[in-house]
Amino acid sequence: MDTHNNPTPPQPTEPTEPTEPTELAAHLATHLSPHIAPLRTLDEQLANQLATIVNQLNTTSTSRLNDLAQDIENTLKPQRDFYLYDAANTWADNANDTINTLGTLAHKHPSREVIALIQLAMTYAADTTARSDSSLGLHTQLVEELMENHAHAVNNVRPKLNETEQQQLVHWLHQFTYQSEQDLFDPNIVNYTPTLGAAALEEYANLFAQETNRTIPTDALTRLAIAQGDAEKLIELAQPDWNNSHAMAKLVHNLQEAGHLQRAIDIGEDALTRLSEHPGSQQLAEQLAIALQKADRAEELIGIWIRAYQAAPTITMLTRIETAAQQLQGKDRTSTEEFIRTEAEPQLAHNQPNAYVLRLIRTGRIQQARKFTQQNQDALLEDTLKALEQAEKTT
């Protein structure tokens, strides 16, 4: 028999377990090398492909940004002294795609070049709005979108803006708002606080102090105080409206945003005591409640909701009391539940009988709802009666 023509195939051998560290290394090298080599080759291929793609993206990106800059010039730059209604809306329709593209770049590929393009677009769009019949509201929407995208790009560009660039940014924001053709749009400096340091914010304040072209509105000064975390300035700006509950609600909100939670609570509690009978006290109570929730002060929060409910009984406020009561323990919770049962619900029944019946249905008190309905038929809506009938059929 010719063994050369019919070679005996090699017989598999049982692998032996290595017993020493050096044997283990040799074992792994022997068995894994055939698999590692292709992976190394694949890794090198991927690295080369990635480098090629990056180079292509850089070239494409530069070309794309140049095209976009020309598009901004052609589409957004005002071309006439005044746009009548139809022409103004045509401009807005044409501008939409360009502004959407800028928004996509701001959120997906923020860069210094994109920031500069958005600033150019903001300048042209605001200028065009100022010389247009923009009563349909499209122009304002587009400029506000640009402002939001600008702040997003500024806060997410990497590397982050250095101190010199931050100074340049606040100068541009001031120039755009107070020294340009438009006087309709004022970017909120608070939106830039993730990026701006103390020195840049101080420079922005200096620009306000030096401004002679226009009077700086109180809202702008307030936003700057929030950005700087200046509680005293916020209180000073609110002084002329100290007895206005709406203004005090806004101050409580602003102090929280500026990082002064305890000051917000103290001022809010004082204001609510002074102004509980004033229009707008409900809004004040809600802002104070937000601060108390942040401070995890459930007992005081219950007190605020109860006071607000007594001033204006609503199902919404009653639900808030119940929700807050769930965080209480012992006597505090028992007394709150007693208030709901003996005071809050009777007040609701008197002021909002339909809401009261729906509450009884929702909490499974069908017989009580039927009795109340029979006694107050004329005060109830048809929908409320139908809801009760449906509830009775399903119980």
- In this predicted structure, the answer to whether residue 57 has a pLDDT above a threshold of 50 is no
Q: What is the pLDDT of residues 146-198, one digit of tens each?
A: 999 999 999 999 999 999 999 999 999 999 999 888 889 999 999 999 999 99
Is the residue at 294 inside a domain? no
| The pLDDT of residue 1 | 46
pLDDT at 62: 77
Domain contains 173:
yes
Of residues 188, 77, 69, the one with CA closest to residue 125: 77
Residue 346 · residue 313 · CB < 8 Å: no
**Same-domain check for residues 83 and 131:** yes
Q: Over 70: is that where the pLDDT of 4 sits?
A: no
b/e for 239-261, b at 16 or more Cβ within 10 A?
eeeeebbebbbbbbbbbbbbebe
Beta-carbon count within 10 A of 303 CB: 17
Name the most confidently modeled range: 64-73, 108-117, 229-238.
229-238
Mean pLDDT of 123-127: 96
Q: What's the total number of domains in the chain?
A: 3
Q: What is the pLDDT of residue 3?
A: 47
**Cβ-proximal residues to 245 (8 Å cutoff; 6+ apart), any chain:** 271, 275, 278, 279, 280, 281, 283, 284
Mark whether 138 and 200 lie in a shared domain.
no
Domain boundary among 133, 158, 183: 158
Mean pLDDT of 307-333: 86
Mean pLDDT of 116-141: 96
Last residue within a domain, chosen from 158, 179, 195: 158
Place of tokens 């119980």: 395
Which band of pLDDT confidence, cut at 50, 70 and 90, is reported for residue 48? low
Domain match, 122 and 143 both: yes
Can you name the residues that pair with 83 across neighbouring β-strands? Answer: 132
In the prediction, which pLDDT does 59 show?
A: 42
Residue 67 in any domain: the answer is yes
* 106 and 80 fall within a common domain: yes
| pLDDT at 76 exceeding the cut of 90 | yes
Asked if the structure places residue 309 within a domain, the reply is no
Residue 321 contacts residue 302 (beta carbons within 8 Å):
yes
Q: Pick from 129, 158, 187: which residue ends a domain?
A: 158
Average pLDDT along the chain: 87
62 and 75 in a single domain? The answer is yes
- pLDDT tens digits, residue range 266-294? 999 999 989 988 888 889 998 999 999 99
**Gap between the Cα atoms of 145 and 106, Å rounded:** 11
CA distances from 69 to 16, 93, 121, 141, 226 (A): 69, 18, 9, 21, 34
Whole-number percent of the chain with pLDDT over 90: 67
Residue 60 has pLDDT above 70, yes or no: no
| Range of the structural domain that residue 214 is part of | 162-226
Residue 83 is assigned to a structural domain of this protein: yes
pTM of the model: 0.74
Q: What is the reported pLDDT for 298?
A: 84
What's the average model confidence in pLDDT over 360-370?
94
For residues 34 and 93, the model is more confident at 93
Higher-confidence residue: 52 or 188?
188
Q: Mean of the pLDDT values across residues 112-120? A: 95
Are residues 121 and 102 located together in one domain of the fold?
yes
pLDDT of 56 > 50? The answer is: no
**With 70 as the cut, is the pLDDT of residue 315 above it?**
yes
- Whether 90 is in a domain gets the answer yes
Tokens of 201: 């914010």
What pLDDT sits at residue 190? 98
Of the two residues 252 and 48, the one the predictor is more confident about is 252
Q: Which uninterrupted H or E stretch holds 333?
A: helix 330-339
When pLDDT is averaged across residues 371-385 and rounded to a whole number, the result is: 93
Instruction: For residue 200, give the nearest of 176, 177, 171 by alpha carbon.
Output: 171
- 307 vs 317: CA distance, rounded Å: 10
